[in-house]
């Protein structure tokens, strides 16, 4: 892909939820695009639509109306099976709560997305081991999550998000459960991924975090209110 390649293109995206007999408009006609290699933060008050937008970007949900093009493919109306395939192959997730499997080692947790691919166990192990080293966990590959600090667990989650070389990495408050030192270390990992050309979209409430990104999207009441470049 060229540096100008559109990764995400949202056109008049709307999402409405039924809360009993009341319809709640979580997103109200959002039009946005993100190019390859961008480092973006999404901000706004609670209930502004940040999580809804991230769920749609991650193909965890589909819009009520509008279009979502991911890598040039319209994923707005795909069925659950097709969305699952897209998530596995084209999107990397980093969650606030890590979402690691307690019974698995570091390298096994990183390998999880590869179980759904046609790679051999040997190839999957090699990829996961290399990514563990890339995020600074070469000496911890056989440890389980309960033997790791919060920052180390989030590094495992980042490595797992990278394992399929996704088009885009989505992060939801990735430092929310970490102390300031561990949080800074995780942000440095994201900075490094950006320098390597990865496309990163991160939801955060922290201005000091958003200042590290190159573009800040502000939402309010399900609408875009600001789109600024740092």
Please list the residues that pair with 28 across neighbouring strands.
14
Using alpha carbons, list the distances in angstroms from residue 198 to 7, 13, 15, 119.
Answer: 11, 24, 28, 23
* Cβ neighbours, 10 Å, residue 17: 12
End-to-end CA distance of the chain: 24
Per-residue confidence (pLDDT) for residue 2, from 0 to 100:
46
Q: Tell me whether residue 1 is in a domain.
A: no
Model pLDDT, residue 230:
86
**Is residue 134 in some structural domain?**
yes
- The alpha helices in 104-201, defined as continuous H runs, are 106-111, 121-134, 150-162, 180-195
53-109 residue pLDDT tens: 999 999 999 999 999 999 999 999 899 999 998 998 899 999 888 899 999 999 999
Q: In total, how many domains does the chain have? A: 1
Determine the structural domain holding residue 51 and report its residue range.
Answer: 6-229
pLDDT band at 6 (very low <50, low <70, confident <90, very high): very high
What integer is the mean pLDDT of 180-204? 93
In-domain check, residue 195: yes
Per-residue model confidence as pLDDT tens digits over 115-154: 878 788 899 999 999 999 999 999 999 999 999 999 999 9
Check whether 3 has a pLDDT greater than 60: no
Q: Is residue 82 part of a domain?
A: yes
pLDDT surpasses 50 at 1: no
DSSP code of residue 77: T
Question: Which CATH number do you get for residue 79?
Answer: 3.40.50.300
Across the chain, mean pLDDT equals 92
Helices (H), 24-116: 50-57, 80-90, 106-111
**What local confidence, expressed as pLDDT, does residue 127 receive?**
94
Query: What is each CA distance from 200 to 50, 74, 102, 209, in whole angstroms?
Result: 15, 20, 27, 13
């Amino acid at each position: 892909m060229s540096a100008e390649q559109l990764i995400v293109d949202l056109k008049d995206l709307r999402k409405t939820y039924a809360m009993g007999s009341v319809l709640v408009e979580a997103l109200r006609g959002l039009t946005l695009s993100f190019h390859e290699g961008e480092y973006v933060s999404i901000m706004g008050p609670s209930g502004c639509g940040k999580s809804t937008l991230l769920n749609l970007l991650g193909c965890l949900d589909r819009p009520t109306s509008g279009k979502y093009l991911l890598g040039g493919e319209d994923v707005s109306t795909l069925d659950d099976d097709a969305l699952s395939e897209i998530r596995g192959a084209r999107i990397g997730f980093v969650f606030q709560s890590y979402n690691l499997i307690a019974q698995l080692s570091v390298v096994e947790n990183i390998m999880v997305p590869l179980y759904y691919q046609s790679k051999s166990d040997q190839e999957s192990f090699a990829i996961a081991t290399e990514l563990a080293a890339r995020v600074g966990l070469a000496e911890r590959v056989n440890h389980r999550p309960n033997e790791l600090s919060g920052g180390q667990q989030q590094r495992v989650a980042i490595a797992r998000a990278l394992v399929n070389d996704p088009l885009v990495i989505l992060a939801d408050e990735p430092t929310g459960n970490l102390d300031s030192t561990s949080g800074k270390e995780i942000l440095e990992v994201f900075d490094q991924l950006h320098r390597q050309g990865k496309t990163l979209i991160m939801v955060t409430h922290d201005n000091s975090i958003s200042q590290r990104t190159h573009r800040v999207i502000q939402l309010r009441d399900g609408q875009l209110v600001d789109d600024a470049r740092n």
